[in-house]
Structure 1
Amino acid sequence: MKPAQSKIKRRQLLQWGVAAGGALGVSSLVSSRGRAAGIPPRYLLVIGAHGGASIVDSMLAVRHGESAHWETINTFPDDEVKGFDGSPLRAVDIERPTAGPFPFPLRAKQSSFVRAHREQMLVATLTGSSVNHFVGQRRSITGNEAWRGRTLQECVAKEYGDDFSIPNINMTSGGFAARGHDEALPSRCFSELIARPSTWSLGLDARKGIEAAPSSALLDEARRLRDEQIEPESPFLQAFGQAEPLRLWAEQRAKARTNLEARGLLEKLCLLQDSKDYPLSDYNVESSPEAAMLREALPLLDTDPLEAQAALAYLLFKNQVCVTATIWPTTRVLIDESSSSLVNAPVAFDYSHNYHRSMQAVMWSRILKVTDALIRLLEQTPADDSGASLWDRTLIYVATEFGRTRARVGGQDDFGSSHDLNNGVLLVSPMLKGNRVLGGVDPDTGLTYGFDPTTGAPDKGRQTSEAEIFSGILDVMRVDTSGSGLPAVTALRG
């Protein structure tokens, strides 16, 4: 039956859904959501932990003494797995003379992050549906095409992005940067891809930073002549001006003047320092007012792409440019010469194929370090005049495409692993019901099991799906999922 023909009122349907306790299996029947309910904008930061961030090498680590098969599955010496009073979360702290094949000492300490943020951390177990990198990455942000192929970021941009210049910013590639399939969404919901966060803002003004640029008055007059006289008489535009790509281009070009130039975003988002390579002062351009603070929080900002992405994500949220940003580590080796340490493994978490234990440790430490810096920056930044901080309204989702196999031989300290469907995800936010593990891990196999999607009770007889994680995140974000058909997942929210 088409909606126009139905005599059932939407309010009745919502009331029935609530009365049924979500029995219809549609999360939109649980409560009103998002902007329609007067909720201020909420922010989603996705960190793509590509290559297979293994949850049993972090918050669900298993000790040797807990497993009957510790020598043949991925478990840790008891003293390397740290626990916390009143918390089911764990952390892995390890030290080795070398980081796999790299001649740098390995000092990976997850406990400081968990100790500081455990009350706002939630681990949800998950069994995915693909061990292909691109496919698994895409499914981690679409819930395996759970809602007409929309991404989480597109859903959040649609809910909260009306008043933002570029609601959905994505600094990754591969499956994490994939656009959703729902063409019915407004074009503003789709991601704007950024390849180089450190220099991206230089393109946000038509004249500033250009040597011998015309005056603003002259540029305005040139634009007026173009819009009112030259283009309307163009044979090309007369023939093709109504084509959707050209219409969208003209619309975005007009909005750029008010949404980007007039707001002075070139300098507000400028991560560069005045230097020989980038002589900003020669072009009357200044760095962001927060540049010094960002370099203190993210000291490798000028050489580490992930720290640069994190810095820009913070500025985008602070300056109300976007409501969702997506970042990820580089795929190349990074060495911090000042500390003689390995910062980033080749192909990130996927170098676990060769050196699982050490590379998981390096990469988890990297993700948690940047996440900690972002949390602290957002905590000290007001969201508006309400007294809430940006962190109060932000959710960080550490997404990954799959887990890693658990087998090892003879208790080897470092070993190789392959892709595996079984895993879990890390979420951090004040909006979560934190300090929890949804699901659990079998210490004799190293495999995770699922949970009840509404109560959160562990259920060893089920596995949690990508669609349920997708739905649960949207529930925390208070996104209106009316008509989505998503499963009702309310166990994540506070």
Structure 2
Amino acid sequence: MQGNRRQFIQGAATGAAALSCPSLLARPRTQKRAADNAKLLIVVAASGGASIVDSFLPVIASSDNAGIRSYKPEQIESVEGSAFRAVKKVNYSLGVPVGNDYEMLDFIKRHGSDLAVLPFTGSSVNHLIAAQRSMNGNGVNRGRTLMEAAAAQYGADRLLPNINMSFSGYALDGTDAALPTYAKAEQIADALLFPLALHREQVIADRTNHELLEAARVVRGELEQLQPHAKTMQNLSPLREFLTFRQNIPAIEAAQLLEALSLLDLARFNDVGKLRAEQNALLIKVREVFPKFLTDPLEAQGAMAFLLLRYGVSCSVTIGLDTLVRFEELGSGRIMSNLPLGFDWSHNSHQGAQNSMWRRLLSVMDRLITLLKNEDHLGVPENGKMWSRSLMYVATEFGRDRSRSGGSGHDLNNAAVMVSPLVKGNRVYGGVDQKTGYTFGCDLATGEPEPGRQLSEGDVHHVMLQALGVPATGGPNASGIIRPA
């Protein structure tokens, strides 16, 4: 773990180990007021290239577009009054059925009023580079990722403001050397095991006397100062960050995050669970919403994202698909729940792969949004519901080519999916040319579509920064998309 949690530690290192619901972190009153204004960012990494024309903007087949990928009218569903359409479930199989029973249309029904699609054209079809640019807007805002920008703005009093559970280009840091250290991402490889790393002793079955361990740590610090290279290396940034974070560990332990965040049964660990009963109702609810958290990493990430935001530990959380084959039981049969290359399996079976992975992603998003809509921010009714201050962004590398011939290659043209009450929802900010299948953008100041206009990754990035209330220079006026406060 990285980072200097300076401002939190100044208020919390004295200590109080006391923590009580509804708010996990015992902050001084002034810090709590500041946190109440925070926006919450949830980034969902759609690894492999999630195509917008295979989800919310499908092209309907006609005599004018016989050479492009499209859908027959009977394959499409819509909701009256919605700007979006959904592709029905595609019965795709790789020896066993692929994908769950979730329907895209259900997502539109439940969350369409907060759904906004912003067409744009990217700048790379390389997985790593394109994923990184989807996070940093191709270098706008001093090279900060969206998550770093949100954490810098709202995370000074959070213990772990920026948590990233994704991988590859979605997990790369930005390039702004002036970024506050606390805003850097904490990379989490396993959402289930991560809470066990938040206390140095509680997970040790036969640990030594606490006072003896503390004395050993003091001696360790004294010995480190006597090392020959201690003075020559003391100004190296990685070493400074490591030592600072180590000094801040007591505040993390004092917050008792292990009890609050762990989805696992902690009964076997000594002295764990003092507050477990108090928090148990919320944990039971989260387990019920994500019942496959033990076997499905995406469900575990969704559950962990909610808990981190609900308890004020983080203000930015990134989750996402991995690219491993996964199977699960469904009814009396077996399905493949995750394809080996995520959305990029589209090279082999475009519509089936896109359909199954979109439904997988939207199913988890739907349930996470529902939790956020039902829970008070930090558990305080006066703060309003968590969803009222949230922005969910589906980040992906690129779209897919539109030609029916051959496989489904990478294509720069696509669209960003945002779900948030912070933007004017139930809108497509641009459109799709029904003859070519390619998207076009809009005038950001008015939100009006402009056929032929191509927005950039930077434009999308600035729209979200403005929605989150994060100051940034050089961006376009996006008032046509941002919902007034």
- The TM-score range, normalised by the shorter chain, is 0.7 to 0.9
CA contact (8 A) 1:100 1:355 kept: no
- What's 1:265 paired with? 257
1:114: how far off? 0.4
Q: Deviations 1:123-145 (Å, cap 9, x if unpaired)?
A: 11111111110111011011111
Q: Would you say 1:331 and 2:323 are equivalent positions?
A: yes
1:436 maps to which of 408, 427, 448: 427
Q: Deviations over 1:110-131 (max 9, x none)?
A: 0011011110110111111111
**Match of residue 407 from structure 2:** 416
Q: Which moved more, 1:376-385 or 1:308-317?
A: 376-385
Q: CA deviation at 1:307?
A: 0.9
Identify the residue that residue 94 of structure 2 maps to in structure 1: 101
- CA deviation string 1:315-374 (max 9, x = no partner): 111121111111111211222213333311121000000000111110000111000110
The 5 Å alignment of 1:362-441 reads 362-384=356-378, 385=380, 386-408=382-404, 416-441=407-432
Match of 2:118 in 1: 124
Matched, 1:52 2:43: no
In structure 1, C-alpha distance between the alignment counterparts of 2:225 and 2:408, rounded to whole Å: 61
> Given that residues 167 and 323 in structure 1 are in contact (C-alpha distance below 8 angstroms), is that contact kept between their aligned partners in structure 2?
yes
User: For residue 251 of structure 1, what is the aligned residue in structure 2?
Assistant: 244
- Give the corresponding residue for 1:112: 106
Query: Structure 2-normalised TM-score?
Result: 0.86
Equivalent position SS for 1:424: strand
- Measured after TM superposition, the shift of residue 255 of structure 1 is 1.1
Partners of 1:77 and 1:303 in 2: how far apart?
36
Deviation at 1:157, TM superposition (A): 0.7
SS of 1:252 mapped into structure 2: helix
Please list the CA deviations of residues 225-272 of structure 1 after superposition, one character each: whole Å capped at 9, or x if unmatched: 444x444444442443343332222211111211x1000011211122
1:78 to 2:67 alignment: no
Residue 40 of structure 2 is aligned to residue 43 of structure 1: yes
**Correspondence 1:237 to 2:230:** yes
Q: Which amino acid aligns with 2:268?
A: S
Superposition CA RMSD, Å: 2.2
Give how far 1:198 is off.
Answer: 0.7
Cα contact 2:298–2:319 (8 A) shared by 1: yes
Q: How many matched pairs? A: 442
SS in 2 for 1:337: strand
What secondary structure sits across from 1:69 in the alignment?
helix
Question: Does residue 162 of structure 1 match 2:162?
Answer: no
* Separation in structure 2 between the aligned mates of residue 161 and residue 475 of structure 1, nearest angstrom: 17
Following superposition, the deviation at residue 222 of structure 1 comes to 3.4
Task: Report matched runs for 1:187-266 at 5 Å.
Answer: 187-227=181-221, 229-258=222-251, 260-266=252-258
Structure 1: distance between partners of 2:470 and 2:442: 22
**Cα distance in 1 for residues equivalent to 2:39 and 2:241:** 27
Matched, 1:281 2:272: no
Q: What are the ranges of 5 or more consecutive residues in structure 2 without an aligned counterpart?
A: 1-31
- In the other structure, the counterpart of 2:12 is none
Q: Which runs of 5+ in 1 are unaligned?
A: 1-34, 275-279, 410-414
TM-score (norm 1): 0.85
Rounded Cα–Cα distance in structure 2 between residues aligned with 1:462 and 1:37: 40
Partners of 2:269 and 2:98 in 1: CA distance: 43
Distance apart, 1:220 and its partner CA? 3.2
2:307 to 315, 340, 354: 315
Offset of 1:387 from its aligned partner?
A: 4.1
Match of 2:130 in 1: 136
Q: Which residue of 2 aligns with 1:92?
A: 87
8 Å CA contact 1:209, 1:284 repeated in 2: no
Partner of 2:84, secondary structure, is strand
1:491 aligns with 2:480: yes
Alignment partners' CA distance in 1, 2:35 and 2:297:
37
Change (3 A) 1:271 1:419: same
Preserved CA contact (<8 Å) 2:90 2:356: no
Contact 1:62–1:81 under 8 Å retained in 2: no
CA offset at residue 299 of structure 1?
A: 1.7
Aligned in 2, Cα 1:121/1:323: closer, same or farther, shift over 3 Å? same
1:38 to 1:249, Cα distance in 2 relative to 1, 3 A: closer
Once the two structures are superposed, residues 152-178 of structure 1 have per-residue CA deviations (whole angstroms, 9 ceiling, x without a partner) of: 011101100100011111111111111
